């Protein structure tokens, strides 16, 4: 059996990161150097903005914040850089809440905006969801939450200008790859690119982003709160702008299809499918790398490379039983990679949406300027991450057969 290689042997930290983290040792623990205290962060957000109303459209955000901070302190084992990253995210999320609440108070019509028939991309991590998101963003009749909008879902003048808002977001996006250079080979982050919905949900303090960044079993996910904040943020971004179809994305939507359709009743869900023996280890390596950004204590033995398979089997059971809560359309990763234009044209035809020539041209041009692996290849093997491809394929044989998913080498 192939040895599961610890992250400390896979990914050498840049010297500046190693030195920053060592500063925590000088004060007998990173928590003493960079504390995470909910009350302090709340008060500093108030002081920074001069605002006091955090909004209540998503319920008891303060209790969720307290739960998050408590869970991080109990089991997160964040190093100095991890604490800085996490504290900045929490502080930024609090500021975003204050600014969004102010926007809704000053313009009550914001809360009346209707998010009509969004296209929602789901599917296992590493099954083509990100590139599909970017390619649908090129539709002249669609829009995605771009990173600078998702992190700061408020009017740009809160930061002086849209350019300043993008600059601030760009620093945050690029920092992940600065801390861990290998991350750039896994997922490209940039202020001008679409960002998945777990980022937009951060200020609810109930969304999956917080469960992703650290091992915090004591953190209570609250998907209804996350979706309530998500809708409020989209309403603010949409208000006063030309109406275009929102294209949204996160693999986490597979975990909450009923709630998704409760929030957006006329949504059209697109589910991507790929050989699960490829998505399982790739998704595991992505999650492990995200956590390694912030902690020296990432335990690969505790991370389940097979868990997502149960979700796919549950999806299949609903498909075969006719119990899906709304329309779902399927895209094979192999089709998307072989001929993206044809795959998206078929998808649009199934959804009853016009596929215009300008969109096809934009896809070809975009892909020509974005070669696969331009930041380096995301190299991994299933075995080195403790995943047995044969076991995965056996577990998910009904799913693979139903969708006709090609087996990859």
Cα separation of 82 and 337, whole Å? 35
CATH 3.40.50.300 fits 7-403, yes or no: yes
Task: Encode pLDDT of 10-63 as tens digits.
Answer: 888 999 999 999 999 999 999 999 999 999 999 999 999 999 999 999 999 999
> Which structure tokens are listed for 311?
């979700």
Phi-psi region of 299 (alpha: psi -120 to 50; beta: other; left: phi over 0): beta
Please tell me the predicted confidence (pLDDT) of residue 377. Answer: 58
Measured CA angle at 143 (ends 85, 167), to 5 deg: 35
Task: Encode pLDDT of 371-392 as tens digits.
Answer: 765 545 556 678 778 888 999 9
Burial profile 309-345: b = 16 or more Cβ within 10 angstroms, e = fewer: beebeebbeebeeeeeebebebbbbbbbeeebbebbe
Q: How confident is the model at residue 3 (pLDDT cuts 50, 70, 90)?
A: low
Nearest alpha-carbon partner for 96 in 176, 207, 260: 207
Mean model confidence pLDDT for the chain: 92
Place of tokens 């079993």: 217
Stretch 305-309: mean pLDDT: 67
Q: Give residue 121's Cα distance to chain centre.
A: 12
Please tell me the predicted confidence (pLDDT) of residue 257. Answer: 97
Cα separation of 122 and 128, whole Å? 10
Domain ranges of the chain: 7-403
pTM above threshold 0.85 = yes
Place of tokens 């809704």: 104
Q: How confident is the model at residue 310 (pLDDT cuts 50, 70, 90)?
A: confident
């Amino acid at each position: 059996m192939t040895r599961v290689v610890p992250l400390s042997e896979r990914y050498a930290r840049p010297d500046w990161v190693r030195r920053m983290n060592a500063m925590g040792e000088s004060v007998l623990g990173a928590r003493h150097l960079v504390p995470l205290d909910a009350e302090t962060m709340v008060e500093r957000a108030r002081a920074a903005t001069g605002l006091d109303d955090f909004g209540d459209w998503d319920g008891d955000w303060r209790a969720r914040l307290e739960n998050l901070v408590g869970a991080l302190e109990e089991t997160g084992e964040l190093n100095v850089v991890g604490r800085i990253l996490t504290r900045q995210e929490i502080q930024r999320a609090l500021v975003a809440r204050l600014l969004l609440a102010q926007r809704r108070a000053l313009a009550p019509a914001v809360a009346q905006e209707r998010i009509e028939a969004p296209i929602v991309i789901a599917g296992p991590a590493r099954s083509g969801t990100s590139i599909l998101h970017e390619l649908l963003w090129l539709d002249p009749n669609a829009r995605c939450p771009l990173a600078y909008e998702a992190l700061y879902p408020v009017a740009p003048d809160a930061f002086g200008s849209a350019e300043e808002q993008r600059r601030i977001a760009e620093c945050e996006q690029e920092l992940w790859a600065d801390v861990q250079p290998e991350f750039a080979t896994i997922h490209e982050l940039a202020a001008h690119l679409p960002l998945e919905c777990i980022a937009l949900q951060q200020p609810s303090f109930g969304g999956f982003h917080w469960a992703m960044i650290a091992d915090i079993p004591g953190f209570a996910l609250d998907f209804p709160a996350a979706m309530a904040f998500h809708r409020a943020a989209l309403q603010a971004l949409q208000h006063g702008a030309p109406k275009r179809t929102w294209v949204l994305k996160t693999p986490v939507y597979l975990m909450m299809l009923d709630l998704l359709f409760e929030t957006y009743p006329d949504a059209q869900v697109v589910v991507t499918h790929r050989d699960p023996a490829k998505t399982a280890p790739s998704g595991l390596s992505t999650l492990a790398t995200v956590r390694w950004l912030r902690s020296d204590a990432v335990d690969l033995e505790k991370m389940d490379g097979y868990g997502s398979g149960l979700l796919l089997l549950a999806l299949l059971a609903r498909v075969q039983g006719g119990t899906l809560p709304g329309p779902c359309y399927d895209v094979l990763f192999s089709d998307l990679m072989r001929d993206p234009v044809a795959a998206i044209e078929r998808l649009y035809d199934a959804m009853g949406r016009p596929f215009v020539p300008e969109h096809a041209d934009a896809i070809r041009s975009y892909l020509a300027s974005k070669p696969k692996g331009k930041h380096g290849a995301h190299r991994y093997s299933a075995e080195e991450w403790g995943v047995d491809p044969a076991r995965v394929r056996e577990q998910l044989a009904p799913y693979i057969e139903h969708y006709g998913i090609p087996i990859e080498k």
